[in-house]
A and B are shown apart, each in its own frame.
Chain A
């Protein structure tokens, strides 16, 4: 059968020359195999149309190459089809015989400005006529992508492995077709976007070492009069680099991330801070994309909908702009590889496929600090199963002190984002609530919102300490502040909260503990909370003992025992979280003053945490600063929460008022009736 032989010819018939092989594999890569061996028929159809053959010829090609029979374009069929296209273009009849063994020029596809035939002359790249030079340069830098693709897909297509092996030599398969949609776009663009030059030069440099001939060729290309062409090549470089990672343009490479970081820093030196909408607007407008597209990109990348861009959001937006400039249509929704939680997921998951190794490496390189600096943090993440996103926020907030603020704020965002996939459920259940009631404007508000919701409920009497799971860092901070705990790392340590701890008995101890706890904390900040929580519980006797060393002994054992209690404490503390927190709060308030005060804003910087320097004063000062910073943060968060609470209460008041009005009107209606 014709088709069967065609299929069989996939392995035997097609003896492609080097050129052809590379060209075809490039085109094959372009056609985006969505299943191993299958090419997307849409792209193949485009390709065929671009060959400018009459439709009946195209049908014949499809038939002869066996795709019609199979129903899809496999690699073999695709290669045969390409040869047939070449044959058709040179005027030969579209038959299998015409493609076997004869020297055919490479198939031409419309929109390309280069001459495939001259390439087929098998001249070394340097000898190519200038008209094809850009094409070959376009080829070479893009080779890397096809090279990668080939390697990745080599194992998928057994029959092709022999022809593939020569490809491992510096590939030169042209990606002229890939340049097709892109060069179409660039035709009208003369000016280069200045800020886009950097990414192209960097991947360009990277690719150059890969294929030295390309450097030679790139010179004539650069001399090429059309600036658009040179910029197109650079774009192709970049595009190739993007495609380098598994042909997935929605995945950021290391150099891209680095570039985005530099750009971010140029706008906003603090990597943890936000870029305001107006600033970002001016910046992205420079890319000369049309405003509706920029608007759409913004919608995609502003994940938390706050009108400003975090570093991650900025990278996403930038990446989308870069992709768009390279001709990729904007997606309707954010691709999974670009979502903010993605990088964190990669850090924590073991990659299954070799392809994912690269992005994994990318993000590990990009954020090594977050990994290194928080080994304890992340280590704690695993054991404390019930750790939630907000806990991590608190944790990262607390661990600010140990790292420079820049790094730490990045950790905060990355950790926070990293926890996102870990704990989707609690996040989801919080989100709809917040969305419906108020618009969540800042990521840190989630925990506070819960804390404040408690404020609405009347404070109940004796709180159960074990249920206190200290979700809100503010809650714990309050307690800690009262106890004079500076530099609290307690944010995430609090979840272990305080399992069974008789509240009343501890009341007198807290104040005493505070001073000793400060000393303990100065030296072991990570264990601070544990130490003084457990201390209270275990040793009312030991309170009289002085000496930080004893505290440490306690703290280490506290830590282990507390961590065990974490898991038990937190799961059930999560559910009753809401009612409990408020209950605990009055208790903590009781510690200092008798009557439970109203839902307090974060306590003022405590006077007692900083007793006269019995220890090195520098640590005290730094702790003081940290504590003040944290207090400020807490204040701000609580302000936001209170504001939201206020608005909610206003809404409720309106509703109630309206009801009252309707009831009054009804009453009035009834009154005349009653009187008659």
Chain B
């Protein structure tokens, strides 16, 4: 269960960002922004060692005492960032991967919509639904 989910475009501006509203959203926005550096680092690092293959799932980017940040990059350099609560230790790597996979699938659906211009903020209800399903359920 994520606390914050963000989709960042190739040019490193957010296409979609959503946090659990109970907490300070600005904090999460800032966290996501700083995690982009780590993403870049990982992406370039992987690119150096393995020429043609690149893992889409980047794994844990950035653990702090409060939360953990996971990253995922698509082939078109669109980045997904998930922030989860550190106290939520039950989340395994596989689950995070499946969350990213779902995100990627519904992101592709959004892209397929001819009425969506790449670079626009994502307003799709279906995408919202998927993300809500993944967020921490607060009453």
Contacts and interface: CB of A to CB of B under 8 A. Distances in A.
A597 interface: no
A298 B113 contact: yes
B125 A439 contact: no
B53 A654 contact: yes
A49 interface: no
B105 interface: yes
> Dominant SS at the B interface?
loop
Contacts of B50: 657
Contacts of B113: 277, 295, 298-299, 302, 307
A436 B115 CA distance: 25
Interface size class of A (residues with CB under 8 A): 20 to 34
B126 A299 contact: yes
Contacts of A292: 123
Interface string A646-663: 000010011001100100
A547 to B, nearest CB: 55
Interface in A300-317: 302, 305-307
Contacts of A306: 112
A219 interface: no
B123 A277 contact: no
A439 B108 contact: yes
Interface string B112-130: 1111100000011110000
A442 to B, nearest CB: 13
Contacts of B116: 295
A463 to B, nearest CB: 35
B126 A281 contact: no
A296 interface: yes
A282 B101 CA distance: 31
Interface in A77-132: none
Given A439-B105, A653-B53, A658-B55, A277 B114 contact: yes
B95 interface: no
A670 interface: no
A607 interface: no
A299 B108 CA distance: 12
Nearest to B52: A650
A291 B121 CA distance: 13
Given A292-B123, A305-B109, A439-B105, A280 B55 contact: no
A402 to B, nearest CB: 35
Given A295-B123, A299-B126, A657-B50, A278 B105 contact: no
A298 B127 CA distance: 13
A60 B30 CA distance: 56
A294 interface: yes
B115 A650 contact: no
Nearest to B127: A299
Interface of A: 276-278, 280-281, 284, 291-292, 294-296, 298-299, 302, 305-307, 332, 435-436, 439, 650, 653-654, 657-658, 661
11 contacts: A278-B114, A284-B115, A294-B115, A296-B124, A296-B125, A307-B112, A307-B114, A332-B125, A439-B105, A654-B55, A657-B53
Interface of B: 49-50, 53-55, 101, 105, 108-109, 112-116, 123-126
